Amino acid sequence: MLQGIVASVLASMLFGTIYWLSTVLQPLDGEQIFGWRVLVTLPFTSLLLLARPGEAARLAAVGQRVRVRPGLALLLVASSALLGVQLWLFMWAPLQGRALPVSLGYFLLPLTMVLVGRLFYGERLSRAQGLATLLAALGVAHEIWQSGAMSWETWIVALGYPAYFALRRRLDIPGAAGQWLDMALMLPVALWFIGRTPSSWPLLPEHPALWALLPLLGVISTVALALYLAASRRLPLGLFGLLSYVEPVLLVLVALLLGESLQPGQGPTYVLVFAAIAVLLGEGVARLLRQR
* Residue-wise DSSP of 34-79: HHHHHHHHHHHHHHHHHHSTTHHHHHHHHHHHHHH-TTHHHHHHHH
pLDDT mean values, one per 10 residues, the chain (292 residues): 78 86 86 92 86 84 91 93 93 88 82 80 77 81 74 91 88 80 93 87 86 90 80 72 70 81 76 81 76 67
Contacts of 283 (CB under 8 A, 6+ apart): 126, 128, 129, 132, 242
In angstroms, the CA 81 to CA 72 distance is: 14
Task: Estimate the crossing angle of helix 72-92 against helix 152-171, to 10 degrees.
Answer: 150
Give the per-residue pLDDT at 1: 67
230 CB neighbour count, 10 Å cutoff:
21
Identify the pLDDT of residue 156.
Answer: 94
C-beta of residue 21 within 8 angstroms of C-beta of residue 217: yes
Provide φ and ψ at 29, rounded to 5°.
-90, 180
| DSSP 8-state assignment for residue 25 | S
CA angle 51, 56, 61 (to 5 degrees): 160
Distance CA 207, CA 135 (A): 47
- C-alpha distance from residue 82 to each of 78, 277, 285 (Å): 6, 25, 31
pTM of the entire predicted model: 0.80
Residues 6+ apart with CB under 8 A from 4: 230, 231, 233, 234, 235, 240
The pLDDT of residue 242: 64
How does DSSP classify residue 263? Answer: P
Would you say the C-alpha torsion 56, 62, 67, 72 has a positive or negative sign? negative
Coil vs helix vs strand at 254: helix
The whole-angstrom separation of Cα 290 and Cα 284 is: 10
Cβ-based neighbour number of residue 191 at 10 Å:
13
Q: Is residue 246 within 8 Å of 281, Cβ to Cβ? A: no
SS3 content of the chain, % helix, strand, coil (to 5): 85, 0, 15
Distance, in Å, from the CA atom of 183 to the CA atom of 48, rounded to the nearest integer, reads: 13
Query: 72-92 and 2-21 are packed helices; what angle lies between their axes, rounded to 10 degrees?
Result: 50
Is residue 139 within 8 A of residue 273, CB to CB? The reply is yes
For residues 223 and 221, what is the distance between their CA atoms, to the nearest angstrom? 6
- Predicted confidence at residue 231, as pLDDT, reads 83
Tell me what pLDDT residue 153 has: 92
Residues in the chain: 292
